[in-house]
A and B are shown apart, each in its own frame.
Chain A
Amino acid sequence: MNQNNILSEIIEKFQIFHCVECGKCTGACPLAQVDRDFSPRLVAKYVIEEGIDSEYVKEKAWTCLTCGLCNERCPIGISFTEFIRAIRPLFITEDFKGHLSHGGALQGLMRMQAAPDLNQNRIDWITGEHKISSQGEILYFTGCLTYLETFFSEMNLELKKIASDTVKILNSIGVEPVVLPDERCCGHDLIWIGDEISFHKLRSLNIESFKKAGVKTIITSCGECSYTLKNLYGQPEEDFPFEVMHISEYLQKIGFSAGKELSEIATYQDPCRLGRFMGVYDAPRQLLGSIMELREMPHFRAGAWCCGNSAWLHCDRYSKQMQVERLMEAKGTKSDLIVTACPKCQVHLTCAMNDVNLMQDLNMKIRDISSVIAESIE
C-alpha cells in the first residue's frame, strides 16, 4: 500500500472528513495563539485536499504540541492528537521537517534502552530507608527520572527525589513495591515522534519483566508513563492483564489521608497526559487540598495550558512564550509554589524561569505532587 493510501485510511479512521471547518480547534490551540502560521483546522483541510504531499501538513504535523486542548472543543469529536500520532510515522522521510530538541539526545537515550542486554544503573536513589521487593503484585514504574535529572543537571531539579518520595509514601501505607533495576523507558516520546519500531521493542521488554515479577498493578509518578502503559501497551496477552494508576489515583482509591498540613499555598499544573488524556483532575486536587491551600490558575482542568513542549520536539520561541504566559498565570495566583505531576512540566517550566531577562518576574518554586505529599507524612 502506498503512503497516500495509508494516509487516506487514517483520515477515514479519525473521521477528518466530518470536519465542519468551524475553527474551534484553532481558537483553543495555545500554539496557534502565539504562532500565527499554525492552525489545526488548516491541517485537517490540507490533509484532505493535498494528502501526503502537502507542505503544510508535512511541517505542522511536527509542531503540534499534542496537548489535546483542541480535542476538548471540537464539536464533531475529532481526536486531533491521536490523528497526529497516527500520521507522524508517514512523515519520517528524507524531507523530515521535525526538529528534535537537544539534538535528539533524549530520544537517543530512549532508543538505547531498547537494547536487550542492558545493565543499567538507574536506581541509585534507593537507600536503606526504602523498602522494595523484586517480586510482587504492585510495581512502581519510575520512568525516566534518573536520566532527566542527570541530563538537566544544570537546572538542579530534584527529579530522583520524586521516585524516592513515591516509594516512601507507598512504604508508609505498608506497600513494598517492585522496582525494576532494568526497567526500560515506557516509550512515550518515541511513539509520539513516529518511531514505532523502538517503541515496540521497549514495550515487549517491559511487559516481559512485568510478567516475570508477577505484577498486577502498576503505579507511576508521571502522567506520560500512566497514559502509555495504560493505553498504548494494549495488553494483548489475554492472560496478563494489569492495572495502571498514577500515584494520586492509587492513594485516592485506597482512601489515603495525608499527614500534617503545610503552610504553603500551591497552584496545580495539570499535565496534559494525566488530565485531558486520562481524565485525572480530582485525585491530585483532593490530595493537595487536604494538606495545603490550593489556588487555581485561570486555565485549569480540561482547559489547562500546556507546559510548552511534548516528546522533546520543537522547543522554540513559541514554546518559550507559552511557558512565560503559563508562569505569569501561576504568579498571578499569588501562590508559593507550582505543583505538578509530570517531571517534564518541571523541566520545561524551570527552563523558562531561567530566562535572563524575565528571571525576577517568573521565578517560582516548582515541585512534584509526590514530594509534597511525602513532606506532609514525614
Chain B
Amino acid sequence: MPSLNRKKPILAFFCNWAPYRCYMDLCRSESSFRHLIYPVKVMCSGRVDPAMVLFAFEKGAEGVMVLGCKDKECRYGPGPKQSTKIAEPIKALIHILGLESERFRSVKYSFNEKNRLLEEIDSFAKTVDKLKKSPFVP
C-alpha cells in the first residue's frame, strides 16, 4: 500500500483485469503518481455500486474514480455497461449533497494503456486539488 500523505485523498476502484494491469505496469516504471490515490481492486467495475462510492465520500474521499475495462473487453460481459449506467446517477446524487460532480470519474481502459492511466490520474488529482475541501469528515 503506498503511503498516502495527501490532504485530499482520492479513492480509485480498479477492475482486476485491464485497469489493474495498467496500474501494475505503471508501478514498475513510475512512482510519481503513487501517493495520489488509494487503489482498491475489485473483480469487475460492474461490482462497484453507488453505495460503495457514496461510502468513500462519506469517509472523507475528496474524489472517487472507477476504472473499468472497455465495453467489449469485459471478461464477464455486462460489467462496464453497468458501471457506465451508475455514473450519471452518482454525479447527480453528490451534486444534490453539494459536492461538485467532477469529484467522480468513470474511465475505461485496454490492458496496454498505462500512459493514458497516468495522465488520467494526474489530471483528476489536479481537478480535485482545485476544489475546496469536502464537508464530509470521517
Contacts and interface: CB of A to CB of B under 8 A. Distances in A.
Interface string B96-137: 111000000000000000000000000000000000000111
Contacts of B51: 102-105, 108
B39 interface: no
A263 interface: no
Given A102-B50, A103-B49, A117-B135, A112 B97 contact: yes
A150 interface: yes
Contacts of B95: 121
Given A118-B98, A147-B96, A151-B93, A103 B58 contact: no
A147 B93 contact: yes
Contact of B89 (A111, A119, A150): A150
B97 A151 contact: no
Contacts of A118: 97-98, 135
The 7 closest A-B pairs by CB, nearest first: A103-B51, A105-B51, A119-B98, A108-B54, A117-B135, A150-B92, A115-B135
Contact of B58 (A111, A116, A150, A151): A111
A52 to B, nearest CB: 28
30 contacts: A102-B50, A102-B51, A103-B49, A103-B50, A103-B51, A103-B52, A105-B50, A108-B51, A108-B54, A108-B55, A109-B54, A109-B93, A109-B97, A112-B54, A112-B57, A115-B135, A115-B136, A117-B135, A119-B135, A120-B97, A120-B98, A121-B95, A121-B98, A146-B96, A147-B93, A150-B92, A150-B96, A151-B93, A153-B89, A153-B92
Nearest to B49: A103
Interface residues of A, number: 22
Contacts of A122: 96
Interface of A: 102-105, 108-109, 111-113, 115-122, 146-147, 150-151, 153
Given A117-B135, A118-B98, A120-B96, 9 more contacts: A103-B50, A104-B55, A108-B54, A108-B55, A113-B97, A118-B135, A120-B98, A150-B96, A153-B92
Nearest to A146: B96
Contact of B137 (A111, A115, A150): A115
A112 B136 contact: yes
Interface in B52-102: 52, 54-55, 57-58, 88-89, 92-93, 95-98
A105 B96 contact: no
Contacts of A105: 49-51, 54
Interface string B28-50: 00000000000000000000011
